[in-house]
Structure 1
Amino acid sequence: MSRSPQTEAEQNIALLADDKFTEITRVPIWDPEQDDVLVCRQVRQETHDVKTFVFSGREPRAFRFYPGQYMTFELPVEGRVTRCYTISASAARPYRVEITVKRVPGGPGSNWLHDYMIPGKEITVSGPAGEFTTDATTEEKLLFLSAGSGITPMMSMTRTACDLSEPSDLHFIHAARMPSDIIFRDELALLSAQNPSLKLAFTCDTTLASHSWSGYTGRLSLPMLSLMSADFMDRKIFCCGPALFMDGVRNMLKQAGFNMEKYYEESFDFGAETAGTHEEPASVAPEISDQLFRVSFPKTGHVVECGPGMTILSAAREAGLMPVSSCQRGICGTCKSKLLSGRVDMQHGGGIRQREIDQGKILICCSSPLSDIEVEL
């Protein structure tokens, strides 16, 4: 009896997470707890301000990830900067991972990568993590909506589906400033030509006469969406891009009466630069719900009381301290600190390794005290 496309695709991807995969390939699984260093193997210029960086292990390793997940990179700039970038590669090609990064004016992470990351250079990485993923080979009608560098998780999902078989019924809509800013334009056109169930549509804010543009022009609107994907109301929608773009999409879909339970998005707004995760801020559930705990910061001498469900980061700010932080979701690892004494409830999203936890480190943005504590910032 033949298996359904969904079962085959899920088993193919799940194989990457199975110990038997090592035996089949005779290539060990990459384990960031044992070796968290990757080597840049290739740099590709995608557009004038977007590059793809391809990485692999120092020795041959197989990576296991789901399409749409991200990895956290520790960059040697301004002391140390951590940034989360979505994997843009196909999960069905496990021997390398790649990220596609847009240069952000003034952004320390993206500018360092664009200026200094070259083949042969090593970088410290953790992950993968994140749950913004889907199997585009399922017998399910999907619609991907992306803008700018928000295309990266959608590209990973699309590449994976095309490698495993082909998308079952996928509409892929991408918005860009102008035609020259469309990332992966040629590859998407090729994938669409090879996979008839993959239908593409692009819209650009502006065009130039030299572009010979025959696609849509202007911001994505409800009438435009209806032309691009006439049955969008019947589809499961995945959205990723700048905050204003996603706000507009949500408002547009609500106006149309779309069932928002079938809408999924990935946030790309961590403040200074884009990063990849869709998860909501981690909820914290302390074991003791009605007790105040003392949070001490020995280096500065500050002491503050921390109420139920209050994070250590919030307590530090109430004490007048301004510890370095970024995502505030337990993802990026920027606020990593040493717990000197006491117990905490930490609900992180992948921004800290187990060996660091074993060494007494915590992420203060997603940790709440379970006793009086001392923290070294």
Structure 2
Amino acid sequence: MHGSAERRPNNKRRSEAMPLDTLPFPKSGLPGFASAPRKLRLVARHQNTSDTVTFTFHSLEGPVLHLPGQAIALDLPMNGGVATRTFTIASAPLGAQELSVTVKAAETGHATRWMHDNLAVGSEITARGPFGRFSLAARHGRPVLLIGGGSGFTPMMSMLRWLHARGETLDVVVVQVARRVEDLLFEDELAQIARDMPGLRLFEVVTAPAAGEVWRGYRGRPNRAMLRAMVADASRREVYCCGPEGFLGTVRQCLLAEGLPHQHFHTESFGASKPVASPAPIGKGVSNGHRVTLRGRSFEIAEGELLSTALAAQHIRVPTGCNAGQCGTCKLRLSEGSVDMQQDGGLSEQDVASGYILACCSRVTGPISIEDPV
């Protein structure tokens, strides 16, 4: 139902509703669900938009326990070898054996394009998870703002589906930002949720409507004036935001300028904080450093420095996920030398025996040569 900037709910209330304090989650902090490998079988796929598909998997090893907003790492058996990619779980954490991920096939995303072209009902893959601290399960009594840009709306949908399934009457504002009208996700389901949740206000923003698209709602990139018009009381809310880096930065800056305390602005993080890297001049020596060779390049990094931090400093891109040694996304093959690796289940015993390491939890202790995984 395009052209409506805001969807207002009715006052329908379901009898099975449960208050938040009945959750098995503590009111402060997050519970820890063990991250473990599991086998998944694809049982359904749904084409959301021209370049976005929702894949629904059945866990062959029991219920999938996770928090709304957490992620899972999928091992994709591509022709060139297994590629591990981390995706936010889009389905609500209801203790079922099914989970879904909604995946946009980016123009340069070889793994996501492979998923679209090759994963069919009946396909089986391995996965690890859950990961991440990005969840409103640790909400501390404040009203909520969920705002997602592009495929970054996926964790918002997990949180919203969870609240809806529980029949919550929370004061929730949801903002979905998409490039075109046809890129808006979960349109029919969002309309139903808005009808069922009396405390929900839903807004949609289209940044660049295509010629001929009918759109009477908010348009253009979110700015302070637009956000104030939609959520005048944003400064009193617990805000969860996910999307491209530039989108995150803009939303954060606007909301902090509106008076939101920084501790109430949350962005997606699959594990520990990502390393902050200060680029070092290529070819310059590093005191007490060790030489690292990768992709035909050679440079020095400091003794004990995390490999992921060093690679980022050299502008060498390696896929990342949890940054905690759990998901296996940043896997590389060590061909020469050794590292001090403190992984937490991201590699199998076979992976380790084959010389694989994880960049996020490996510290260089001597000269090394590394390669991309086969």
Check whether TM > 0.5.
Answer: yes
Q: Calculate the aligned-residue CA RMSD, in Å.
A: 4.0
Matched, 1:311 2:306: yes
Matches of 1:333 and 1:17, distance apart in 2: 19
Report the counterpart of residue 359 of structure 2 in structure 1: 364
* Contact 2:328-2:358 within 8 A present in 1 as well: no
Shift of 1:171: 0.6
Report the counterpart of residue 64 of structure 1 in structure 2: 65
Say which of 167, 177, 180 aligns to 2:179: 177
Q: Deviations over 1:337-377 (max 9, x none)?
A: 4598866253x5x67146468757531343114x6587775
| Count of residue correspondences | 339
Structure 2: unaligned runs, 5 residues or longer? 1-17, 277-286
Matched, 1:335 2:337: no
Shift of 1:151: 0.5
Q: 1:12 to 1:264 in 2, by over 3 A?
A: closer
Matched, 1:165 2:160: no
Report the counterpart of residue 352 of structure 1 in structure 2: 346
Write out aligned runs for 1:1-377 (5 A). Answer: 5-11=19-25, 31-32=36-37, 36-57=38-59, 59=60, 61-75=62-76, 76-135=78-137, 139-166=141-168, 168-207=170-209, 211-266=213-268, 277=270, 279-281=272-274, 292=288, 307-312=302-307, 325-327=318-320, 329=323, 330=325, 331-337=327-333, 344-346=340-342, 352-353=346-347, 355=349, 361-369=356-364, 377=371
Q: 1:118 to 1:188 in 2, by over 3 A?
A: same
Shift of 1:6: 3.3
Q: Deviations over 1:259-305 (max 9, x none)?
A: 111111126xxxxxxxxx3752259xxxxxxx9586798x99x9997
Q: Deviations over 1:209-263 (max 9, x none)?
A: 8654332122212121122112111001111011121121122123323311111
Q: 1:60 to 1:183 in 2, by over 3 A?
A: same
Matches of 2:312 and 2:265, distance apart in 1: 35
Q: 1:357 to 1:112 in 2, by over 3 A?
A: closer
Matches of 2:22 and 2:312, distance apart in 1: 50
Higher RCO (Cα < 8 Å, 6 or more apart): 2
* Contact 2:290-2:300 within 8 A present in 1 as well: yes
Matches of 2:312 and 2:184, distance apart in 1: 41
TM-score by length of 2: 0.76
Shift of 1:208: 5.7
The 3-state SS of whatever aligns with 1:135 is: helix
Matches of 1:312 and 1:185, distance apart in 2: 42
Q: Deviations over 1:192-216 (max 9, x none)?
A: 1101112101111233686543321
Report the counterpart of residue 24 of structure 1 in structure 2: none
TM-score by length of 1: 0.75
Matches of 1:163 and 1:50, distance apart in 2: 24
Matches of 2:172 and 2:186, distance apart in 1: 17
Identity %: 27
Structure 1: unaligned runs, 5 residues or longer? 19-29, 268-276, 284-290
Q: Deviations over 1:86-116 (max 9, x none)?
A: 1100101521111001121131011111111
